[in-house]
Amino acid sequence: MKEEYKKDTMVLHADHEWGVKDGTVAPAIYYTSTFPANDAAEFADMASRPLHPQYYTRYGNPVHERVKAIMAELEGTETALVTGSGMGAIATTLLSLVSAGDHVIAQTRHYMSTTKIMDDMLPRFGVEVTIVEQTDLAAFEQAIKPNTKLIMLETPANPTLVLTDLEAVATLAKSHGIVLVADNTFASPLNQRPHDLGVDVVVHSATKYLGGHSDITAGVICTSHELAERIWDTHTSIGSVLSPMDAWLLLRGLRTLPVRIERINSNALALAEFLENQPEIEQVFYPGLVSHPQHELALKQMKGFGAVIAFAIKGDYAATQRFVSALNLSINAVSLGGVESLVIHTAAMWEGALNEEQMKTAGIPANFVRYSVGLEHIEDLKADVLQALKEI
Ligand SMILES: Cc1ncc(COP(=O)(O)O)c(C=O)c1O
């Protein structure tokens, strides 16, 4: 792929060689679990070559290769891997890079299943975890021990949109030889490229913006050839495999990612500014707002600010439920980054997975709403929010 191509062009052509090989314009779906060898010698080669794209679909598949080519270009990494979900990407990355006796540093705020891995799963396998306040660089530094192997970041963090200074933590990690992993789901590679700032492994829930149509679960891991081979080795045992059909849908979603992100960024910023001016709203958190406590950092490390707005209603748990129920356009459903607007009462979702102590650490009040802005016309979204606010 020519370096000088812009992202909009790249997402359509980075996998060009597979189109030539298949002789098709629309990507061929390799709907097969296994691939034939021409003879026993070729089979021996297929069986022993890491990352072979046409051996067995748990190990790789040509449709995965096409997604990998685009994702590596988007994140600026040497290569990428695909998995069956975002959690598949995160769990596989963590389990491949740490062992019993190692120490890991993570944030107070993460997507709740990542928090569960840190609090429950890694300690069960003898990995020690220290949770730090993500806005406090000194806390990261103080948490480092001789056996610290990995730091896990997520910025903006789900669901509070608190940011982590990627470059500062990367400098720290590098100086101690610690692998740095960042969940870039909430930004998308169009809005933020953690690898450019020194992050070693960038993970995504491709279920969100990358797929973009709320029809698949998928994950992506973007990294160096060396780390990809290590992670792939664990991936083949864990088996978080993306089906060829879902990889094809992900590929279709990636073709329109730049145009979707452009609209999502402008819609979300406009809606966040609108919400800030409504008397029924207590506070709005959106990195693109001048009022966001880390707006300067957002401007430094992000090009746009994504779909998700977090805001607090002036009211209690029940009032927040009434507001969410009264919305007509945005669908009351988990997930984000799709073509349609989605909304949740944040406390209700997090309570379903975390205990009281973890809820307190995560800092999620009862009157919090998480709104993922879609591609609808902004005036329709504003009108819908306005009529729902009258119901609280
Ligand atoms: C930031 C973040 N990371 C990871 C995940 C997990 O992704 P998946 O649902 O595709 O497993 C999510 C899901 O919402 C998320 O928001």
9 contact partners, CB below 8 Å, separation of at least 6: none
Residue 174: per-residue pLDDT: 98
pLDDT at 339 over 60: yes
Residue 3: per-residue pLDDT: 63
Q: Considering only CA atoms, which of 152, 84, 171 is closest in space to residue 114?
A: 152
Residue extent(s) of CATH 3.90.1150.10 domains in the chain: 257-389
Region 188-216: mean pLDDT is 98
Q: How confident is the model at residue 360 (pLDDT cuts 50, 70, 90)?
A: confident
Q: Does the CB atom of residue 108 touch ligand 1 within 6 A?
A: no
Quote the CA–CA distance of 245 and 254 in Å, as a whole number.
Answer: 14
pLDDT at 209 over 90: yes
Q: Under CATH, which number does the domain 257-389 receive?
A: 3.90.1150.10
The yes or no reply on domain 7-255 and CATH 1.25.40.10 is no
Q: Which residues are catalytic?
A: 58, 111, 183, 208
Q: How confident is the model at residue 351 (pLDDT cuts 50, 70, 90)?
A: confident
From its phi and psi, is residue 149 left (phi > 0), alpha (psi between -120 and 50) or beta? alpha
The b-or-e profile of 6-25 (16+ CB within 10 A means b, else e) is: ebeebbeebbeebeeeeeee
Q: Does the CB atom of residue 185 touch ligand 1 within 6 A?
A: yes
Residue extent(s) of CATH 3.40.640.10 domains in the chain: 7-255
CA of residue 205 to ligand 1 center, whole Å: 5
For the ranges 9-13, 100-104, 135-139, 361-365, the lowest mean pLDDT is seen at 361-365
Residue 2: per-residue pLDDT: 56
**Three-state SS letters, 58-101:** CCCCHHHHHHHHHHHHHHCCCEEEEECCHHHHHHHHHHHHCCCC
Region 358-377: mean pLDDT is 90
Quote the CA–CA distance of 306 and 372 in Å, as a whole number.
Answer: 9
pLDDT at 244 over 70: yes
Mean of the per-residue pLDDT values for the chain? 96
Q: How confident is the model at residue 1 (pLDDT cuts 50, 70, 90)?
A: low
Region 151-179: mean pLDDT is 97
Region 313-339: mean pLDDT is 97
Mutate to test the pocket of ligand 1, among 208, 240, 346 (most ligand atoms within 8 A of CB): 208
Mutate to test the pocket of ligand 1, among 158, 215, 250, 372 (most ligand atoms within 8 A of CB): 158
pLDDT at 163 over 60: yes
CA of residue 182 to ligand 1 center, whole Å: 13
The CA dihedral of 97, 100, 102, 107, to the nearest 10 degrees, is 70
226 CB-contact burial (10 Å; exposed 0-12 / middle 13-18 / buried 19+):
exposed
Residue 11: per-residue pLDDT: 98
Residue 355: per-residue pLDDT: 82
CA of residue 298 to ligand 1 center, whole Å: 21
Residue 350: per-residue pLDDT: 83
Region 254-278: mean pLDDT is 98
Q: How many CA atoms lie within 13 A of 251 on its CB side?
A: 26
Residue 352: per-residue pLDDT: 80
